[in-house]
Amino acid sequence: MFVELMPVLAGRTVMITVARVDERTLRVHVIPTKTCDTENSALTTPLSYTGTPEELDQELGQQLAGYVEAHQQLGSTLAQAKAEMEAAAKAAQEEARRKTTERSKKATENKPEKAGPALQPATPQLAASMSLFPASQASVQNSGGGGGGDAGC
């Protein structure tokens, strides 16, 4: 039984409790403890086995061997998944930096360069110099004669 537990005991403490259920039955709990607060709780899933003392003597070693193997595979899988997630996050950050750099380069390239002095907008003609009438009638209207316009306003 303890030979089978050695791989788990290499990296953590394992608590074993034995309780009497009735006159012929025992229950054994094998409970691995967390190695740190951030460790996945799946690695601390306990094994419970109930049986007669004879059944426990015969089968508990095999059950522990299977439990330890599953425990090791789970630890390996979790470590691999964590490494893959970290690599994916790093790649996403690098991609975001690359896109930001490309955008800033395009923005710099698209700015027009100043080739010379800026063109000034043409000044509009004053309203007094503009007329709907030919020049001879415009002078009559501006002088106040000719047909009651808005001279008194």
pLDDT of residue 9: 77
Q: What is the pLDDT along the chain (153 residues), one digit of tens a residue?
A: 778 877 877 778 888 899 999 999 999 998 888 888 887 777 788 888 899 999 988 888 888 888 888 877 877 788 788 888 888 888 888 888 888 888 887 777 776 555 555 666 666 655 556 666 666 554 555 555 555 555 554
The dihedrals phi and psi of 49, each to the nearest 5 degrees, come to -135, 130
Cα–Cα distance for residue pair 112/134, rounded to 1 Å: 46
pTM, full prediction: 0.47
Amino acid sitting at position 33: T
The domains located in the chain, with CATH, are 2-81 (3.10.450)
What DSSP line would sit under 109-145, residue for residue? HHSPP--SPPPPPPPPPPGGG--SS-HHHHHHHHTT-
